[in-house]
């Protein structure tokens, strides 16, 4: 009896100790099985009444567009650009998918990543005759932000629908540089580059940029800018090259302003974009689907499409402050709106 009482006392003390270590806050643990296959799964998030095979795929283009792997505080990261391309190709290859809606919430990203995604969207829109894949209507739905590279990608769609409160535009290119020479001088640190040519260390953060180096980068910026203008001109046929250049000074616009400037086709919500997609695909009823990795619940059309990269709860004492790749790399060329 004494042994049992002692064990019970130790158990109660253990419970109190665990509660104290947890800050006396309610604690819950979730055990999630890890699937063997990591192939994309499809979840129906909305459907019209009746029986039919037609589907409309919603594909997210969110966050900063970079060809790099995300490194979250918890869990394993994933290359967002690779995941996005995988989703686009899955929708293109599915004969039941009659149209695609791009749900854009992005300030843009690197020049190359934006261009690659733009071309992949064009493949969905135009089809692949060699593989017997027909083209499918694509509608871009702008949510909070679809600026710079986000707008660049939207230009690949047949129609662009923007929330009146969306932030879009920011047509232009920027190169991020920084100079730490003043700080290094104060702490008595100097650098000396041994280089094969005079421009090998151009845009070095350890010294001011020379005028001839600035001209080199300006030439590259101008080339990328002309590429952006050509994409917009191809998409917005109702605007002349002169009109596009006049509004493409890097500034952002609201969705309503963009409509007046003819940068978008209409104002509306994601639901409006879905209705338009069905009209362009000439289908009256359809199931709305999204793609994701096997783990995760998706309740409606506004649900996030990614199931990876779990984040700590708001009450956690751990703070995740990742430094974006484009800030870690000196001299990145960006189609990005970053106020």
Q: Is 237 among the residues known to form the active site? A: no
For the question of residue 114 being annotated catalytic, the response is no
d(CA 58, CA 43): 10
Catalytic residue among 148, 166, 170, 204: 148
Contact 335, 108 (CB under 8 A): yes
Cα separation, 227 vs 286, in Å, equals 37
Q: What counts of helices (H) and strands (E) characterise the chain?
A: 10, 12
Distance between CA atoms of 274 and 59, rounded to whole angstroms? Answer: 12
Decide: 170 and 147 in contact? Cβ < 8 Å: yes
| Catalytic member of 119, 195, 200, 285 | 200
CA distances 2 to 5, 10, 12, 16, Å, are 5, 12, 15, 21
Contact criterion met (CB below 8 Å) for 333 and 172:
no
Helices (H), 109-254: 111-126, 149-154, 181-186, 211-235, 241-247
What is the distance between the alpha carbons of residues 80 and 105, in angstroms, rounded to a whole number?
Answer: 13
Integer Cα distance of 198 and 217 in angstroms: 14
Q: Is 18 helix (H, G, I), strand (E, B) or coil?
A: helix
Of the candidates 119, 112, 48, the residue with the CA atom closest to the CA atom of residue 89: 119
Q: Which residues are catalytic?
A: 148, 200
């Amino acid at each position: 009896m004494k042994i049992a009482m002692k064990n019970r006392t130790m158990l109660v003390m253990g419970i109190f100790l665990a509660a104290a270590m947890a800050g006396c806050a309610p604690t819950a643990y979730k055990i999630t099985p890890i699937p063997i296959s990591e192939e994309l799964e499809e979840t129906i998030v909305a459907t019209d009444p009746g029986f039919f095979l037609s589907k409309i795929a919603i594909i997210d283009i969110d966050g900063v567009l970079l060809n790099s792997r995300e490194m979250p505080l918890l869990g394993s990261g994933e290359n967002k650009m690779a995941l996005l391309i995988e989703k686009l190709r899955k929708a293109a290859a599915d004969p039941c998918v009659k149209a695609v809606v791009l749900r854009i919430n992005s300030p843009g990203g690197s020049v190359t990543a934006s261009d690659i995604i733009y071309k992949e969207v064009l493949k969905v829109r135009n089809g692949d005759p060699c593989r017997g894949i027909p083209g499918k209507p694509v509608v871009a739905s702008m949510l909070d932000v679809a600026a710079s590279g986000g707008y660049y990608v939207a230009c690949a769609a047949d129609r662009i629908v923007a929330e009146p409160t969306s932030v879009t535009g920011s047509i232009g290119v920027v190169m991020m540089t920084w100079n730490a020479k003043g700080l290094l001088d104060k702490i008595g640190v100097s650098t000396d580059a041994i280089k094969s040519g005079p421009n090998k260390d151009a845009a070095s953060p350890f010294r001011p940029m020379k005028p001839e180096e600035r001209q080199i980068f300006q030439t590259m910026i101008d080339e990328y800018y002309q590429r952006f203008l050509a994409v917009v001109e191809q998409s917005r046929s109702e605007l002349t090259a002169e009109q596009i250049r006049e509004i493409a000074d890097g500034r952002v616009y609201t969705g309503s302003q963009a409509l007046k400037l003819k940068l978008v086709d209409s104002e509306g919500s994601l639901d409006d974009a879905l209705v338009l997609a069905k009209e362009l695909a000439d289908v009256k009823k359809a199931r709305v689907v999204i793609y994701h990795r096997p783990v995760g619940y998706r309740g409606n059309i506004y649900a996030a499409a990614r199931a990876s990269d779990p984040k700590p709860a708001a009450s956690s004492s751990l703070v995740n402050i990742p430094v974006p790749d484009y800030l870690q790399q000196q001299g990145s060329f960006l189609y990005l709106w970053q106020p």
